[in-house]
Structure 1
Amino acid sequence: MLLMASILLATSAPTSVAKGPSPSASAVESCALPEGWSEVASRQPRYVVFGELHGTQQGPAFIGNLACALASQKQRILVGVELDPTANVALQDAWKLPPGQFGQALVRAGWQARQDGVASQAMFALLVRLHKLKEAGLSIAVIAFDSDDAQERRFSDLAGYGPREAVQAENIHEAATRGSYDRVLVLTGNAHARKSRYGEGPESFDFMAARLASHAPVVSLDTRYATGTAWYCQIKKGLRLDPGQKITNDAVECGDHPAKGEIDLKRTPFIGLGAFPGEQPDSRYDGFLWLGPISGSPPLLPGG
């Protein structure tokens, strides 16, 4: 199901962070708010959802910079990443460890099951960076919010990918409710970030961002980029599958593939609300995140 969702393009509670004195950004590392963030903040969203193309270096790095900049302003930040509940148990346990042990604890937990760009080197680097910032005194917590089969069975009445979307939204909202946070940043695949309903009639369902919006204000951003590469999985060339046929591991190949982007805006990463330049407004999102040229980030660990 994880693979199908990628091609379509519970949790343990995060450790709550108290709001108190925080070091300046320069005391930890250099990080500044991106262009366009003030417009997002003016809408006072509880959740800011970034719909990415999995498997790039630039997506997780952007979230790390933003979390650093916000936390340096004494904001309490929760960062959600699209890893499963098993990974979250290990993540919350590791989060309490000193810096020298955090990364090792995550590696021992094993990320071999994800070869589709989610459990990437860039994602690992993001978590290590956030942990370092937390240890330096910034108010940052993390949550892995993806679903598993047991959680999805509670929403079995929903059509299509509705159960997974519902669980993701529930996990994020419950984690946000258990802590005291000024902002919740969610990094997810761009399909999950849609605020519109998918399909019509009994086969329709809401994506994760749409369900989150029923709890609190959401700003959802679709990642846009210039041509580059991304690490993702796709059906092997020349292989034909019958409609509804289950996709097995031997039917796909994962690697650093070309990613055709938009016309290059020749700008550093920034956020824009409303339509992407040269396009009509997209009702599925509130705006976009421009990353510029992208490059693939392979899995942290080889396939298992």
Structure 2
Amino acid sequence: MRMLPFAVAATLAGLLAAVPPAARAAERCSLPDGWTDVVRRDPRYVVFGEIHGTRQSPAFIGNLACALAARGERVLVAVELGSPYDAAFQAAWRLPPTRFPAALLKEGWAGRNDGVGSVAMRDMLVRLHALKSAGRPIALVAFNGARDAAQQAKFADQPGQGPHEAAQAENIRNAAVAGRYDRVLVLVGNLHARKQPIERGAVIFRPMAMQLAPASEVVSLNMASAGGSTWTCELRAGVKFEPGKPIAKDAIECAGHPVRSDAAIERTPFVTLQLLPGTQRDPAYDGSFWLGAVSASSPALPER
């Protein structure tokens, strides 16, 4: 084992001592198994299609971003929070760690009872901010929905949910070209992560992942788990959806709900571009990210 020169070792020790304890704890991370297969494809964007509201999915993305940044890669983390609030998030991102958590929750979190604005999402962003404050090259963008009326009008000619998907894609793309990033990690609901059109009745629209960039520049991974629970908003038991009629607010229950197992695997979290054992390939995705057993993460700002 080569020994570092005394002066270099002393400098490194001094730098480590200067890193806040919270940031040092946040740096306990490693690349997941299978990541090298994703890198071989050299995608501009890696899209992680989740079921919202688990503790494990944001933690997985946070760990990956941490590990990439620790290797010196410049990382943009795109999250499915409202794009009109992105300016507020960027202002919060520039604050010191002691002020960031409170500033983060001031905009775009209230009323998010569907698992997107979860405690796990908040914790991931607080962790990444601590790493950024310690000098790691990590940036953030909130991309969900049209940022203003002009963007909404720009894509109004697309059918169905297409305008929403197109705005998501453009917001991510604009943030990506604004910085010199080595990797863009997108955490989004798995419907938006699909690389094939979606048909709803007589309407067909293109999901965000199809509008983000050419297919060769996007690797889309669908969440897979050993089952457990997620925080989702679903119709209450016994309530039936009637097409064309509005759904009453009291007909929706936002809570921890069971989620089925996708495969019988006993492994720590990993990514794969291959089929999981006992599953069939879904051509809408390039592969999967495996989380093991999952547990529900409630909203960071619960409704009062």
TM-score (norm 2): 0.87
Deviation at 1:101, TM superposition (A): 0.3
Aligned to 1:59: 57
Identity score, percent: 52
Aligned to 1:37: 35
Aligned to 1:4: none
Q: Which digits, 9 at most, give the CA deviation of each residue in 1:265-292, with x for residues without a partner?
A: 0110000103222223221000000100
Instruction: Give me the whole-angstrom Cα distance separating, in 2, the residues matched to 1:174 and 1:291.
Output: 30
Aligned to 2:177: 177
Counterparts of 1:85-96 in structure 2 under 5 Å?
85-96=83-94
Please state if 1:75 is matched with 2:88: no
Q: Cα–Cα, structure 1 residues 104 and 220, in superposed 2: closer, same or farther, change >3 Å?
A: same
Instruction: Give me the whole-angstrom Cα distance separating, in 1, the residues matched to 2:116 and 2:225.
Output: 18
Other structure's SS at 1:94 match: helix
Q: Cα–Cα, structure 1 residues 248 and 86, in superposed 2: closer, same or farther, change >3 Å?
A: farther
Deviation at 1:89, TM superposition (A): 2.2
Residue type of the alignment partner of 2:278: G
Aligned to 1:269: 269
Instruction: Give me the whole-angstrom Cα distance separating, in 2, the residues matched to 1:283 and 1:49.
Output: 15
Q: Cα–Cα, structure 1 residues 280 and 260, in superposed 2: closer, same or farther, change >3 Å?
A: closer
Q: Which digits, 9 at most, give the CA deviation of each residue in 1:3-42, with x for residues without a partner?
A: xxxxxxxxxxxxxxxxxxx989979622111000000000
Instruction: Give me the whole-angstrom Cα distance separating, in 1, the residues matched to 2:139 and 2:248.
Output: 35
Instruction: Give me the whole-angstrom Cα distance separating, in 2, the residues matched to 1:143 and 1:277.
Output: 35
Aligned to 1:140: 138
Contact residue 29 and residue 64 of structure 2 kept, 8 A: yes
Counterparts of 1:205-216 in structure 2 under 5 Å?
205-214=205-214
Q: Cα–Cα, structure 1 residues 267 and 224, in superposed 2: closer, same or farther, change >3 Å?
A: same
Instruction: Give me the whole-angstrom Cα distance separating, in 2, the residues matched to 1:91 and 1:123.
Output: 13
Aligned to 2:284: 284
Q: Cα–Cα, structure 1 residues 138 and 125, in superposed 2: closer, same or farther, change >3 Å?
A: same
Matched positions, count: 283
Aligned to 2:192: 192
Q: Which runs of 5+ in 2 are unaligned?
A: 1-14
Other structure's SS at 1:81 match: strand
Residue type of the alignment partner of 1:228: G
TM-score (norm 1): 0.87
Other structure's SS at 2:233 match: strand
Residue type of the alignment partner of 2:109: W
Aligned to 1:124: 122
Deviation at 1:250, TM superposition (A): 2.6
Contact residue 83 and residue 171 of structure 2 kept, 8 A: no
Contact residue 195 and residue 215 of structure 2 kept, 8 A: no
Q: Cα–Cα, structure 1 residues 278 and 215, in superposed 2: closer, same or farther, change >3 Å?
A: closer
Please state if 1:242 is matched with 2:248: no
Deviation at 1:85, TM superposition (A): 1.8
Other structure's SS at 1:83 match: strand
Q: Which runs of 5+ in 1 are unaligned?
A: 1-21
Q: Cα–Cα, structure 1 residues 289 and 215, in superposed 2: closer, same or farther, change >3 Å?
A: closer
- Structure (1 or 2) with the larger CA radius of gyration: 2
Instruction: Give me the whole-angstrom Cα distance separating, in 1, the residues matched to 2:267 and 2:175.
Output: 35
Contact residue 47 and residue 220 of structure 2 kept, 8 A: yes
Other structure's SS at 2:102 match: helix
Deviation at 1:110, TM superposition (A): 5.6
Instruction: Give me the whole-angstrom Cα distance separating, in 2, the residues matched to 1:200 and 1:82.
Output: 22
